[in-house]
Structure 1
Amino acid sequence: MAELQRRTLLRGTVAASGALIGGPFLGFVNRASAAAPTEHTPQLGPIADLRDGKVRLWLPDGFKYRSFHDTEFAVTLDDGTALPGRHDGMGAFRGRNGTIRLVRNHEVNNPGPAFGDAGAAYDPMAQGGTTTVEVTKYGEVVSGYTSCNGTMMNCSGGRMPWGSWITCEETVNGPDVGPDFTGTPNLPLTQRHGFIFEVPVRGQSDREPITAAGRFSHESVAFDPWSGYLYLTEDNFGWPSGFYRYKPRKHPMKTGKLGNRGRLQMLKVRGRPNLNLAAAQPRRASYRVEWVDIDDPAPSFPYTPGQTAPTTNDTALTHVARQGWAQGAAYFSRLEGSAYDDGIVYFTATQGGGPAETSLGPIADGYGNGSGQIWAYDTRASVLRLAYESPGPDVLDFPDNVTTSPRGTLVVCEDNVNNNYLRGLTRRGRLFDIALNRLTSSTGADRSNDEFAGSTFSPDGHTLFVNIQASRGMTFAIWGPWHRIGV
């Protein structure tokens, strides 16, 4: 408890005195229909899970939750699928009779038999994908099934306004690429990976990769309905990461899907080639940007079946980015979650904000020496602004997935090795706690370091759904007086 009080005090002090807040969030200040949230800092305490009475989360007073699809125990979906773990990015959509449909990623790496129907899989020897589950607003499961399989490391993605989820592969594995960071050979794989896939809210994905949107270490996407651009983040752990946009030839709001013919581009700061935005930024940092074309977005590399490919994983990981760097594209640190709100794309840089790296990579502990940044890109003005930069791990430690609440607060998932929180960041720049992981296994082992991921609100704003991203994954439904804590 002493540590929690110390962290709360530090956050309140720094947010008020100079955590590099760039002023009120653009796009968050004109919500006429939203009641102004209160500004007190909620205190967290142990709350019992309505599933079984066990304490798994600490929450503010007045909040409740239920966990479901806990893969510490065997879970079988309605289609007979054994539910995989590694629950990650997730989107919430309206279901039937007041229910919510959740399309949920499973970030499973390494070659192996696909879950679900292997005959429908993109690659029958890839273990990632998505499941779709229908639940009540209180986290009671109605049904569930496999909606995309045979993909790899489905990390985050994005909710599309025409009624789809875009799932992202955070890898470039394939039979044409050498082993990745795990050292596991890619020989069993039958397809190239490193793409994004569209998953409809109802039914199955066609498992067709959108190759024109690039083959790189995808993390998340956010769609701007005004321009028709899809904005994409890259989490290239040991190298600088890029911020991209993809414009399909036809506007998805008219066609009802994301086409596979279009142009991929990478962000460059105007007049400042290869600017290192992973380094600590000046207060109220703001940059005018332009975009450079990526001419070879979906490379294939030479290989002989049954033999280890000569192209290394590092070479494949940076193939797309190097095309942008050669034209002056900016360097970021590990871009992860993103969310669109009223003309602004917010995205996190997990290890941004510290001293500048002296090497381009690869860097063993990840590119970037800070505790995290949150950026805001104005899609109409073509201006990038720093919304928040953490002054240290006691305040905000490695921000990852992010979503927006109906009242205009960013909900940020932490991914660190010591007390993972869900944080709220208001449009006035106030950072506060929403939830604290206090998981233990069925044998009593401490799981408080398991990361939060996939935060998403139900369409009516009643329930926040969020995952635990671990081999023993689970999903939480959390509800309570959101207005009282400023969410």
Structure 2
Amino acid sequence: MERRTFLRAAVTGGAAVAFGFSVTREAIAYPAQTGPSPYGPLQAADANGLELPADFTSRVLAHTGDAVTGTDHTWHGAPDGGACFADGDGWIYVSNSELPLGTGGVSALRFDAAAGITGAYPILSGTTQNCSGGATPWNTWLSCEETDRGYVFEADPWGGEATRRDAMGRFKHEAAAADPDREVVYLTEDESDGNFYRFVPTIWGDMSAGTLQVLAEADGALTWIDVPDPTGATIRTRHQVDTARIFDGGEGAHYRNGTCFFTTKGDNRVWAYDAAANVLHIAYDDDLTPNGPLSGVDNITSGQAGDLYVAEDGGNMEICIITPDDVVAPFLRLTGQDESELCGVAFNPAGDRLYFSSQRGPAGDSGDGYTYEITGPFRK
């Protein structure tokens, strides 16, 4: 594949940020530009209101307030971040509930090898505004509270006991992305003057103890500095390190092959933190992309071919694809739900089914959320 290999730099917020770096199929040529989707144009909306590429189909899996088909579990309100976990020949999809004041939590959908739903059940309850999160290599779900001095909870997709992970800090958590190569977990913060964190557990695989650090700039270079008080009891964590890098509204995060991709809604950017080189790139910037289709950046994941899939909170209610050859384009569009947001993007283990939710549905209300499955010839 022909690649662009130029490198140019810009100064953003006082720190050098690299653009246009691309090395392998797994890397994104930065910053992405508008172009044709590898899946072709979107077709007319189907019966579920989804505009999809040719040969793709959609299925409604669950709706807030209704029992999931074949189960007695009522689907939660305000479905948000999600992930898939292998389960024998099948898999499990977990979905956060961003409901307030102790009414949030996480539910799970269990599938057999033929994608039939065999179960639905809660795996966390009594929490507040569980927005996004992240899967761990040891098959647990880190569910993050998007509230002032919120917590991270570690939940069992199979329904075991969930545990609050105080050592991961108390702030307005958004997403978590585990990096098994450096044995850390990256964390985003949904504040206009938020930080980008990493949690370094004392023992990898045990989130009960460790060190919370923040990405900072010292002497022109990026560095990780310990947060003095991860509880944020007196001074909020984002204000404790003077040299901390500021990010405008941290949202989704996803780690793949040495890079943590994360989004910031305040400036409509997709960032790429190259952990091995300790360099920060901009993978997408709406201001640098003429006629850019992606706005309201939110949850993010990747497919087996290295494509990124970024859900919109607002915009045209799209999930957009960013390919490794520097193209950004709509992958799907949900019609008739303009007051909602798309979230919870995740692939099943085989990479041939994509899951996501519309948090507020056609009614524009957290009591009208829908969770979908997309099937088709995804790139491998």
Question: Which TM-score tier does this pair reach, normalised by the shorter chain?
Answer: 0.7 to 0.9
- The AA in structure 2 aligned to 1:108 is L
Specify the alignment match of 1:467 in structure 2.
Answer: 357
Find 2:226's aligned residue among 293, 302, 326: 293
Matched with 2:21 is 23
Deviations along 1:10-34, one digit per CA (max 9) or x if unpaired, are xxxxxxxxxx96233767159xxxx
Q: Cα deviation per residue 1:253-291 (whole Å; 9 max; x = unaligned)?
A: xxxxx322111011112325xxxxxxxxxxxxxxx4101
The reply to whether residue 338 of structure 1 matches residue 291 of structure 2 is: no
- How much has 1:77 moved relative to structure 2? 8.7
Classify 1:377/1:394 alpha carbon distance in 2 versus 1 (closer, same or farther; 3 Å): closer
1:268 aligns with 2:268: no
Closer/same/farther in 2, CA of residues 291 and 151 from structure 1, 3 Å limit: same
Which letter maps to 2:376?
A: G
In the alignment, is the contact (CA less than 8 A) between 1:21 and 1:388 conserved in 2? no
Matched, 1:85 2:84: no
Q: Deviations over 1:81-130 (max 9, x none)?
A: 5332111111101124x322011101101x3xxxxxxxxxxxxxx10010
Contact 2:39 2:53 in 1 (8 A): no
Q: TM-score, normalised by structure 2?
A: 0.85
The 1-side partners of 2:122 and 2:252 are apart by 24
Q: How far apart, in 1, do the equivalents of 2:152 and 2:376 lie?
A: 34
In 1: Cα distance, 2:23 partner to 2:80 partner: 26
Deviations 1:223-242 (A, max 9, x none): 11111111000011xx3110
1:445-484 aligned within 5 A: 447-470=337-360, 471=366, 472-483=368-379
Which of structures 1 and 2 has the bigger CA Rg? 1
Residue 154 of structure 2 is aligned to residue 198 of structure 1: yes
Q: d(CA) in 2 for partners of 1:378 and 1:21?
A: 12
Matched residues, number: 348
* 3-state SS of 1:321 partner: helix
Task: For 1:322-361, list aligned pairs within 5 A.
Answer: 322-324=239-241, 326=242, 328-352=243-267
Give the 5 Å matches for 1:65-84. 65-71=58-64, 74-75=66-67, 81-84=73-76
Residue equivalent to 1:308: none
Instruction: Give 1:301-320 correspondences, 5 Å limit.
Output: 319-320=236-237
Decide which structure has greater strand share.
2
Question: Greater helix percent: which structure?
Answer: 1
Q: Which residue number corresponds to residue 144 of structure 2?
A: 168
Q: Find the aligned partners of 1:154 and 1:212 in 2 and give their Cα distance.
A: 18
Could you say which residue in structure 1 is the equivalent of 2:92? 101
RMSD: 2.4
Tell me, what secondary structure is at the counterpart of 1:249? strand
AA aligned to 1:427 is: P
Change (3 A) 1:56 1:337: same
- The residue type equivalent to 1:55 in the other structure is N
In the alignment, is residue 401 of structure 1 matched against residue 299 of structure 2? Answer: yes
Distance 2:23 2:50 in 1: 29
CA positional deviation for 1:448 = 3.1
Structure 1 residues 212-252: Cα deviation after superposition (integer angstroms, max 9, x where no partner): 1110000001111111111000011xx31100011010111
In structure 1, which of residues 222, 235, 244 is the aligned counterpart of residue 190 of structure 2?
A: 235
- What's the TM-score once normalised by structure 1's chain length? 0.67
State the shift of 1:150 in Å: 0.9
Percent identity, aligned pairs only, is 30
- Name stretches of at least 5 consecutive residues in structure 2 with no aligned partner: 1-17, 29-35, 361-365
In the other structure, the counterpart of 1:42 is: 40
Query: Is the 8 Å Cα contact of residues 19 and 281 (structure 2) preserved in structure 1?
Result: no
Residues 347-371 of structure 1, C-alpha deviation per residue, up to 9 Å, x if partnerless?
A: 011122xxxxxxxxxxxxxxxxxxx
Call closer, same or farther: CA 1:43–1:137 in 2, change over 3 Å: farther
Alpha-carbon shift at residue 465 of structure 1 (Å) = 0.7
Letter in 2 for 1:271: D
- 2:117 is the counterpart of 1:149: no
In structure 2, C-alpha distance between the alignment counterparts of 1:475 and 1:78, rounded to whole Å: 16
Alpha-carbon distance change, 437 to 79 in structure 1, aligned in 2, over 3 angstroms: closer
Q: Using a 3 Å threshold, how does the CA distance of structure 1 residues 42 and 23 change in structure 2: closer, same or farther? A: farther
